[in-house]
Amino acid sequence: MNILILGSGGREHALAWAVLQNPKCDKLIVAPGNAGIAQIATCASLDTEDPGAVATFAYDHAIDFVIVGPEAPLAAGIADRLREEGILVFGPSAEAAQLEASKRFTKEICAAAGAPTAAYASFTEAELAKAYVRAQGAPIVIKADGLAAGKGVIVAMDLDTALEAIDDMFGGAFGGAGAEVVIEEFMTGEEASFFVLCDGETVLSVGTAQDHKRVGEGDTGPNTGGMGAYSPAPIMDDVVTRKAMEEIVKPCVAEMARRGMPYQGVLYAGLMIENGQPRLVEYNVRFGDPECQVLMLRLGAQALDLMHAAAEGRLAEAQVNWADDHAMTVVLAANGYPGAYEKGTVIGGLDDLPETSFEMCFHAGTTRKDGQVLASGGRVLNATARGATLAEARDRAYALADAVDWPEGFYRRDIGWRAL
């Protein structure tokens, strides 16, 4: 099978790594890729949000199967176009990708499916939104309706912050994403991520994870794309997982099919769990980054078979062979992230890192120039490892992170603290 993966982050390096373990992969191209991916696969430059360009590229390179990493190409209709052209693709249609691209849409699906989630109201006018917030009181959560690169959510602990957030969103702080604002009840509890594959009808769990969104140790400081993750999430015990599956994911997937927009791809449910009851915080239509890195290390080669089965509508006959293990990833980020940071700093020590089925340093924001690996983004490397226990996975992951020679980078020392 000739495979094309779209994307350039640590998630896509982990996907590429897993796909290459599988002998069914004959050729792998990743577009655009990064310096780490370039060591294991062919990288190509391609406008991944241009459906015509992706379809033509897939034809020209005799691609049999396309795996879409991030949400933006999906929202742009890449999967629709590839399916029209008869090219097998892992990822939802633009219509189904509204589960991430529109928070109001997701709320409507949850309501129709009876899936537990925060109470909400949606607004297109600031004054009405503010009147609602004043009536509800704080804490309360203000969200831009559309895609805002993970930044369109303000958890307002007081009324002034909430009112200011409404002004910011209608004032264009998130561009078109803020033309509509969803206001939600503030939920308390512990967060976890639940990942399932869907083929439009059948739903298959591929694992749970927890990430650390805050930049600082002890989960302090500003939000980031994620500073580390581990799998499985201890809070997702059998009972909670079954509830998440039966009360949230399956009814929503069935509602999507009923509306004539069957969901195919990976569905990532962000959950809030309180007293053993999960409620939906949000859906994403892609693997989490860095959660994907820990899932791929645990799944290995079978990840390709599972994604392929989802794309071909064969999930009912698929099953996951779980090793009873744990994985952790530690994100190495550029000093200053998530604020301003320097690009182009040199990263050393990478050539000597062990690369086994137990430990991999995935690249996120890196490029190669004159034989050196340079940092080219905020989140730069993902030191990822697995072990029989989470403590063992942690020790291996931190041994990798410690062996990287990059004075201009930093990482949190306490990934997994809650579970450990």
Q: Does 191 bind ligand AMP (CB under 6 A)?
A: yes
In angstroms, give the least distance from the CB of 211 to ligand GLY: 5
The smaller minimum CB distance to ligand GLY, of residues 202 and 384, is found at 384
How far from 83 is each of 65, 78, 86, CA to CA, in Å?
Answer: 11, 9, 5
- CA-angle at 386, arms to 383 and 387, nearest 5°: 140
- For the chain, the helix, strand and coil percentages under 3-state DSSP, each to the nearest 5: 35, 30, 35
Q: Does 282 bind ligand AMP (CB under 6 A)?
A: yes
Which of the residues 263 through 292 are near ligand GLY (CB under 6 A)? 284, 288-289, 291
Binds 281, which of ligand AMP, ligand GLY, none (CB < 5 to 8 A, cut-off by type)? ligand AMP
Q: Does 71 bind ligand AMP (CB under 6 A)?
A: no
The C-alpha torsion from 107 through 110 and 116 to 121, rounded to 10°, is 20
Which of the residues 218 through 257 are near ligand GLY (CB under 6 A)? 225-226
Q: Which region among 20-28, 149-157, 240-248, 358-366 touches ligand AMP (by CB under 6 A)?
A: 149-157
359 forms beta bridges with 385
In the block, residue with structure tokens 């182009």: 344
Query: Using CA of residue 213, residue 247, residue 328, residue 9, what is the dihedral sign?
Result: negative
The smaller minimum CB distance to ligand AMP, of residues 275 and 321, is found at 275
What are residue 412's phi and psi, to 5 degrees?
-75, 140
How far from 383 is each of 129, 329, 341, 395, CA to CA, in Å?
Answer: 43, 5, 20, 11
Binds 184, which of ligand GLY, ligand AMP, none (CB < 5 to 8 A, cut-off by type)? ligand AMP
Helix (H, G, I), strand (E, B) or coil at 211: strand
In angstroms, give the least distance from the CB of 18 to ligand GLY: 17
The smaller minimum CB distance to ligand AMP, of residues 139 and 251, is found at 139
What is the longest distance spanned by two Cα atoms in the chain? 60
Q: Is 95 exposed, middle or buried (0-12, 13-18, 19+ CB in 10 A)?
A: middle
165 forms beta bridges with none
Contact 90, 284 (CB under 8 A): no
Binds 168, which of ligand GLY, ligand AMP, none (CB < 5 to 8 A, cut-off by type)? none
Q: Does 211 bind ligand GLY (CB under 6 A)?
A: yes
Of positions 31, 67, 142, 187, contacts ligand AMP by CB under 6 A: 187
The smaller minimum CB distance to ligand AMP, of residues 141 and 294, is found at 141
Q: How far apart are CA 128 and CA 182, in angstroms?
A: 12
**For the chain, how big is the Rg over CA atoms in Å?**
21
The smaller minimum CB distance to ligand GLY, of residues 112 and 419, is found at 419
Of positions 234, 251, 270, 300, contacts ligand AMP by CB under 6 A: 270
In angstroms, give the least distance from the CB of 141 to ligand AMP: 4
In angstroms, give the least distance from the CB of 23 to ligand AMP: 37
In the block, residue with structure tokens 């699906």: 109
What are residue 36's phi and psi, to 5 degrees?
-75, -40
In angstroms, give the least distance from the CB of 11 to ligand GLY: 8
Query: Using CA of residue 217, residue 222, residue 224, residue 230, what is the dihedral sign?
Result: positive
In angstroms, give the least distance from the CB of 205 to ligand AMP: 20
Q: Does 100 bind ligand GLY (CB under 6 A)?
A: no
Site size toward ligand AMP, by CB under 6 A: 13
The smaller minimum CB distance to ligand AMP, of residues 289 and 359, is found at 289
Which of the residues 115 through 134 are near ligand AMP (CB under 6 A)? 118
Residue type, 117: T
In angstroms, give the least distance from the CB of 103 to ligand AMP: 7
Q: How far apart are CA 337 and CA 194, in angstroms?
A: 27
* Interface ranges with ligand GLY (CB under 6 A): 150, 211, 225-226, 284, 288-289, 291
* Interface ranges with ligand AMP (CB under 6 A): 118, 141, 150, 153, 155, 184-187, 191, 270, 281-282
